[in-house]
Amino acid sequence: MKHLLLAAALLAAPVAATAQVPAEPPPFRAVKIVLVGDSTTAVQSGWGSSFCGKHVTSFAACINLARGGRSSGSYRAEGSWALALREIGSGGFMDTYVLIQFGHNDQPGKPGRSTDLATEFPANMKRYVEEVRAAGGKPVLVTPLTRRQFKDGQLIDDLGPWALAVRKVAAETGAPLVDLHADSFAAVQAMGAAEAARLAQKPPPPEVLAAARTGTTIAANPTPAPVPAAAPTPAPSQNNTAVEPMGQAKLAFDYTHLGEAGADYFAVQVAGDLARAVPALRRYLIP
């Protein structure tokens, strides 16, 4: 009898031991957001740093691969897009969303960066959408952030045609759209030139702020002119080609790049628009 009881105990022991081993937890499910674009998205000079740092929860990874001075063409030509594709296809996440914003450096007057608005720029944006999908990611197109130059109280819409081209590509490809250009244009127009000056990286020089208060902006760093015999002529509008070089934007006042206040302001717009354009991301975004 004792032998039978011992045998039964030995047979039951592995079952009991197995029952005590805790089950493996389910894999952690998270998403990744990748930012691709120029200096108006990049760290230190654009909205991307505030967006990733203040508007994305810890249940999503946010990686800013935007680089200053790049266009839809030069970003690919230099190899930055190849790096982004490796990040998009690296796996480990439930979904990878890729926000793509270009336009500023695609405009004429930027050798090695400018693209043709009618043909090359839309083709580049469409190719980005297609390649994100091929890599397993989910593309989101972003229209370019407005500049903040005014004339007679009216904001100059020099990036409007590029924003329109992005909207058309979004409609043709079915990609979600964050219409940052429309939102930022309306907001800056409502602010006026003087109030919008606080969004820059540095405070404006006194003469620049004085001009802004009249409703017309002047060059951010006007060259001193000799004392004229007649009334002075207002300085010309800022040369955006000169103040938007390749590489990291310099910490200075201009009408394109963003300081902390500007980054925070427009990151709120991006987060709100993104939540509406991609409802699946709402739970990962902080308004």
User: Could you read off the pLDDT of 42-82 as tens digits, one per residue?
Assistant: 999 999 999 999 999 999 999 999 999 999 999 999 999 99
85, 118 contact by CB (below 8 A):
no
Nearest residue to 108 (alpha-carbon basis) of 71, 143, 145, 141: 71
pLDDT at 251: 85
Does residue 11 sit within a domain?
A: no
Segments of the chain with pLDDT less than 70: 1-28, 222-249
Task: Report yes or no on 151 lying in a domain.
Answer: yes
Total structural domains in the chain? 1
Q: Is residue 15 part of a domain?
A: no
pTM listed for this prediction: 0.83
Which domain covers residue 215, as residue numbers?
A: 31-224+237-284
- Under 8 Å between Cβ of 137 and 89: yes
Tokens linked to 106: 């695609």
Kind of pairing, strands 150-151 and 154-155? Answer: antiparallel
CATH of the domain at 76: 3.40.50.1110
pLDDT at 220: 82
Q: Is residue 39 part of a domain?
A: yes
Structure tokens belonging to residue 130:
């297609």
Whether 231 is in a domain gets the answer no
- The DSSP letter of residue 151 is E
pLDDT for 234: 37
pLDDT of 154 reads 98
